[in-house]
Structure 1
């Protein structure tokens, strides 16, 4: 990022006399995050629903399918830190809004692809445009919610991933069968373009810029907790306005802390589970369990809904433990994630049955567990230096999407070499146990890292 780039001029701070007497505007912001996250995941996973038809039309091998599913993550992975840096400079609203327009257009263009190589290129472009997504979510939650509410806020916007997929899976399957796989990309891209109008009109980077936020709500949002004093929050605002232009010194802070490394490894493991479901899961049901594509689309909704329940339960449980005063912040933030790692390992049990209800039950438990792991974003928000929320979110998201790049490719190679998904599920189970060990051995305490 060029050292001459300057932050965009922020909107003027709304004076107290112009504010409403009482408000809950932060929930309106959260609703927008929920919708944009649902669209984000819809556009990155629509390929998995259409893939059985694309594979037949383009005559793709398992390894080629793995490359295609992985290609989204190449640019997405490499641009996480630059995207976080961009968010720190121009704000999450603009970064996320422009990204939404870009990835929606890229989604529509997928429908024009006629061969494997152009399809890969378009998916790489899609990943580049989606890079600011989760660092932007993280920054907006930190800006708009006090520490004690961030677990539930994070769980709420993250649940958009699963609701969107649960609703979309059967709908997109029907579109694929009746109107061809290209219709899936045109329709989902148009949905994103329509929501961009709402995003630019309704979202503010900071609550003090919104005329809908009352003085009381602003005071509630800005309340300090045990991680940060009011003076530290004020200092962080000054630091954010005059950001150190040396990205290397900031990365040194983010990459030299053992606890943060435990979070990075855990996030890689969590994402490995997530990306199995986002990429290969429909093909697994069609090819390994011999379901028709429409039947697979409807059955796939169950694990997505289970993941939604896990996400909401993990965030609410974490915040409730934290606010009760009976549990430490470390226990409240780590426990849901670690339980998720343990439960996700049951995914291998699907290897030992051909019963559709049992397969879906095991998959639902595993995806419910991955939902519990999503509390890792709240944990990371409590640990990353406040002035580096965007850049730190980029590093954290980089770790996650390293799993997103590797997992589809590894599974594709395994399927080509063995002709089965059995070892692929074993690979997922091993990775989540590594994540469990990272949390147990490297994250001894959750506290703000100095930086």
Structure 2
């Protein structure tokens, strides 16, 4: 069994640990929020701004972090980023009020903002094309697993020590991961001491991708990634709502006590872990069986968003708290089914520019994070209800499901750059699915 573990599997495990830790550090604020709000007498609107303080630098760092990883390699960039967010988490345990808490959240957003695009660039070199969906799925499964275990872990530390101690412990763990990453990771398989020629051959073309050189094809990348970015925004709106407001929703609207809140905050996130894993596996299996990349990606992406929409709408109006939890969990499962597909698209489309493309896509997620927690909190405070905020989330899921049908990962950045001018003009004015039908090519 151990002999079957390849160097790339070890690298993937290291990245899984990073995704796990990053999400623990990201969502711990939502679990601790009721206790922080009580200590500093914070309103729902102020809590919304605290949640969003993370998202503003997170948004800015998406493209910048991915571009830096393309230029200077993921090892150096991710090491710096992980040190920043680890220190920010640790220092949150020493805040003195609203302003210092916002500062720590901003630093956390800087550190984590470029992490996932940088990791995507790393996976582009280390993972064969047929395993990209699985790699993105399993790493994001670990991120949701981190989010799922955060409520009981943080609440346990809060119960026995305090909310400040929770941030200190988690910050130390983050810094220990940075040390492991420094010792074990290399930018490319060729640089790793334990890699074998046979495994390099198994990885194939991605193993030969090094740092991007020359001018970044921004125009081509924007034309190919803008729709993916918009769909990621629609996905991200609901995810940010769940990650930031779910504990408060269960406590204030559904009337759960501390123990019930810990349990029922965890269940939807565990459903997301399963969704993340299955989404990547299903997409890869569809691609291997049909050789139709577009079908393998778009079918899972669009259907997942639509089914999430079908779950969130009745949840809004059903008063039975247990049925509501089941619907929230189902919504989160289908929502997360789409996540590995979204993160596979920059790898499919941009190749050695996957870091930049991944950051461009995830800027939609970051923008949603900058807006949705504040809007959600404002609407709760002004309407006294969670109904309208959740209706907006459901509407965006439906819009995203429809928009996803227009995405075509076969039209890569390189292909667009090399096409004749007249073909590029046609591709900009003709929907991707219409071009696929008229050409008769497999998608």
Per the normalisation by structure 1, the TM-score is 0.87
Match of 1:414 among 344, 367, 379: 379
**Do the aligned residues in 2 keep the contact of 1:334 with 1:379 (CA within 8 Å)?**
no
**Do the aligned residues in 2 keep the contact of 1:108 with 1:190 (CA within 8 Å)?**
yes
Please say if 1:383 is aligned against 2:349. yes
Please say if 1:331 is aligned against 2:295. yes
Q: Which residue number in structure 2 is paired with residue 362 of structure 1?
A: 327
Write the deviation string for residues 59-109 of structure 1: whole angstroms up to 9, x where unpaired.
111111111101101111112222112111221112111211111111111
SS at match of 2:411: coil
Q: Which residue number in structure 1 is paired with residue 190 of structure 2?
A: 208
Inter-partner Cα distance in structure 2 for 1:392 and 1:445: 12
Q: How does 1:173-192 map to 2 (within 5 A)?
A: 173-192=155-174
Q: How does 1:154-233 map to 2 (within 5 A)?
A: 154-223=136-205
Q: Which residue number in structure 1 is paired with residue 228 of structure 2?
A: 263
For structure 2, which runs of at least 5 residues remain unmatched after alignment? 418-443
Give, in angstroms, the shift of residue 327 of structure 1: 5.4
Inter-partner Cα distance in structure 1 for 2:196 and 2:110: 37
Give, in angstroms, the shift of residue 205 of structure 1: 1.1
**Do the aligned residues in 2 keep the contact of 1:414 with 1:423 (CA within 8 Å)?**
yes
Inter-partner Cα distance in structure 2 for 1:143 and 1:444: 22
For structure 1, which runs of at least 5 residues remain unmatched after alignment? 1-20, 225-232
SS at match of 1:216: helix
Q: Which residue number in structure 1 is paired with residue 221 of structure 2?
A: 254
Q: Which residue number in structure 1 is paired with residue 63 of structure 2?
A: 81
Q: Which residue number in structure 2 is paired with residue 277 of structure 1?
A: 242
**Do the aligned residues in 1 keep the contact of 2:304 with 2:335 (CA within 8 Å)?**
yes
Inter-partner Cα distance in structure 2 for 1:273 and 1:41: 16
Give, in angstroms, the shift of residue 311 of structure 1: 0.8
Please say if 1:50 is aligned against 2:32. yes
Match of 1:243 among 208, 211, 214: 214
Match of 2:256 among 267, 272, 291: 291
Please say if 1:139 is aligned against 2:121. yes
Inter-partner Cα distance in structure 2 for 1:333 and 1:137: 20
Give, in angstroms, the shift of residue 444 of structure 1: 4.5
Inter-partner Cα distance in structure 2 for 1:199 and 1:445: 31
Match of 2:43 among 61, 67, 70: 61
Q: How does 1:97-108 map to 2 (within 5 A)?
A: 97-108=79-90
Q: Which residue number in structure 2 is paired with residue 9 of structure 1?
A: none
Give, in angstroms, the shift of residue 22 of structure 1: 8.0
C-alpha distance 23-347 of structure 1, shift in aligned 2 (>3 A)? closer
Inter-partner Cα distance in structure 2 for 1:256 and 1:329: 19
Inter-partner Cα distance in structure 2 for 1:419 and 1:211: 59
Q: Report the structure, 1 or 2, having the larger helix content.
A: 2
Q: How does 1:14-33 map to 2 (within 5 A)?
A: 24-33=6-15
C-alpha distance 172-335 of structure 1, shift in aligned 2 (>3 A)? same
C-alpha distance 83-183 of structure 1, shift in aligned 2 (>3 A)? same
Give, in angstroms, the shift of residue 191 of structure 1: 0.8
Inter-partner Cα distance in structure 2 for 1:22 and 1:46: 36
CA RMSD of aligned residues (A): 1.8
Greater than 6 Å deviation, 4+ residue runs: none
C-alpha distance 175-22 of structure 1, shift in aligned 2 (>3 A)? closer
**Do the aligned residues in 1 keep the contact of 2:348 with 2:409 (CA within 8 Å)?**
no
**Do the aligned residues in 1 keep the contact of 2:82 with 2:111 (CA within 8 Å)?**
yes
Q: Which residue number in structure 1 is paired with residue 398 of structure 2?
A: 433
Write the deviation string for residues 426-445 of structure 1: whole angstroms up to 9, x where unpaired.
111011111112112x3245
Write the deviation string for residues 16-59 of structure 1: whole angstroms up to 9, x where unpaired.
xxxxx986111101100100111111111100000011111111
**Do the aligned residues in 1 keep the contact of 2:151 with 2:265 (CA within 8 Å)?**
yes
Write the deviation string for residues 220-264 of structure 1: whole angstroms up to 9, x where unpaired.
10158xxxxxxxx96x64xx35332xx6xx33222233xx22211
Inter-partner Cα distance in structure 2 for 1:75 and 1:48: 18
Give, in angstroms, the shift of residue 387 of structure 1: 3.2
**Do the aligned residues in 2 keep the contact of 1:37 with 1:157 (CA within 8 Å)?**
yes
Would you say how many aligned residue pairs link Structure 1 and Structure 2? 411
**Do the aligned residues in 1 keep the contact of 2:66 with 2:121 (CA within 8 Å)?**
no
Inter-partner Cα distance in structure 2 for 1:418 and 1:330: 42
Q: Which residue number in structure 1 is paired with residue 441 of structure 2?
A: none
Inter-partner Cα distance in structure 2 for 1:88 and 1:379: 16
**Do the aligned residues in 1 keep the contact of 2:226 with 2:361 (CA within 8 Å)?**
no
Give, in angstroms, the shift of residue 352 of structure 1: 2.1
C-alpha distance 174-23 of structure 1, shift in aligned 2 (>3 A)? closer
